[in-house]
C-alpha cells in the first residue's frame, strides 16, 4: 500500500442495541474499509445490510449470511476486485462461523481484506485459524484481518493468528462496551504493512451502540 488506509473493525451485535448510534460511530470513524461482525441476520438480511451501508455513506463489498454474518463495507473510492464468502467447519451445537474476503484497490494500492468472528469454543477457534490461513493462501498483496477473536492476546488462537499476521497494537479492552475488561477484538496485518495509528474507540455513542468497542487503525506500506 502506497497510500494510507483507514480500517475499522466492529462487532455491532446485529443492531440489537442502538442502530442509529452504530451508524454515527461508523460515520465518525471515516474509515475506507469496515469489517463488521454480527451484521444484520436472517429475515431480509441483504436489504438490511445494504441499508446500513447506505446510512454510513458506504457500500457493501461482500459478506452477510454466506460469510457467517461477517460483512465488509467500503467507500466508493475503493475498488472491489474480487470477493469470496466461506462458511467454516462447524462443530456440533456451535454457531456457524464464516469468513468474508475481498481483494481491493485504493489509490493504486492493492490489499486483501478479511473479516471473521471466531467461535466461543477454544478448539474450534484454533482450527478456524488454520482454515482461514488456507483460504487466504499466499497472496502477493498485503492481508488485513478484522476479527472478534473471542479470546485475549496470549491465548492459543490469538497467538497463532498474530504469528503470521501481527496485531496492529490497538491497546485497550474492547468488551463490554460500557466498562470494558477484556481485549477480544483485533485488527491483524501482514508484516509488510506499517501501522501509523491504532486505537480502541470510545464515545457516548460507542457505549450505547453495541456490547463491543470498535477498533480503528491507519495503515500504509
Residues 32, 35, 38, 39: is their CA dihedral positive or negative? positive
Domain boundaries, the chain: 5-220
Q: Tens of pLDDT along the chain (221 residues)?
A: 568 999 999 999 999 999 999 999 999 999 999 999 999 998 899 999 999 999 999 999 999 999 999 999 999 999 999 999 999 999 878 899 999 999 999 999 999 999 999 999 999 999 999 999 999 999 999 999 999 999 999 999 999 999 999 999 988 999 999 999 999 999 999 999 999 999 999 999 999 999 999 999 999 98
* Nearest CA among 200, 147, 144 for reference residue 176: 200
Is the peptide bond prior to 176 cis by the omega test (within 30 degrees of 0)? yes
The CATH superfamily label for domain 5-220 reads Endonuclease/exonuclease/phosphatase (3.60.10.10)
In the block, which residue shows the cell 502477493? 140
Q: Which residues pair with 59 in a beta bridge?
A: 74
Rounded to whole angstroms, the Cα distance separating 166 from 136 reads 15
The pTM of this model reads 0.97
Amino acid at each position: 500500500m502506497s497510500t494510507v488506509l483507514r480500517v475499522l473493525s466492529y462487532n455491532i451485535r446485529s443492531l440489537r442495541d442502538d442502530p442509529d448510534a452504530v451508524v454515527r460511530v461508523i460515520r465518525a470513524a471515516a474509515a475506507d474499509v469496515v469489517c463488521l461482525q454480527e451484521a444484520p441476520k436472517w429475515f431480509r438480511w441483504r436489504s438490511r445490510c445494504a441499508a446500513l451501508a447506505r446510512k454510513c455513506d458506504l457500500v457493501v463489498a461482500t459478506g452477510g449470511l454466506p460469510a457467517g454474518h461477517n460483512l465488509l463495507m467500503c467507500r466508493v473510492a475503493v475498488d472491489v476486485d474480487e470477493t469470496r464468502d466461506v462458511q467454516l467447519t462447524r462443530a456440533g451445537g456451535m454457531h456457524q462461523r464464516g469468513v468474508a474476503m475481498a481483494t481491493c484497490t485504493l489509490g493504486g494500492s492493492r490489499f486483501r481484506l478479511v473479516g471473521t468472528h471466531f467461535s466461543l469454543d477454544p478448539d474450534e477457534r484454533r482450527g478456524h485459524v488454520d482454515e482461514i490461513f488456507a483460504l487466504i493462501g499466499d497472496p502477493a498483496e498485503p492481508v488485513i484481518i478484522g476479527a472478534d477473536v473471542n479470546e485475549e492476546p496470549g491465548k492459543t488462537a490469538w497467538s497463532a493468528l498474530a504469528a503470521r499476521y501481527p496485531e496492529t497494537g490497538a491497546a485497550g479492552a474492547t468488551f463490554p462496551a460500557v466498562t470494558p475488561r477484556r481485549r477480544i477484538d483485533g485488527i491483524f496485518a501482514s508484516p509488510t504493512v506499517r501501522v501509523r495509528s491504532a486505537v480502541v474507540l470510545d464515545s457516548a455513542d460507542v457505549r450505547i451502540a453495541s456490547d463491543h468497542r470498535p477498533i480503528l487503525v491507519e495503515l500504509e506500506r
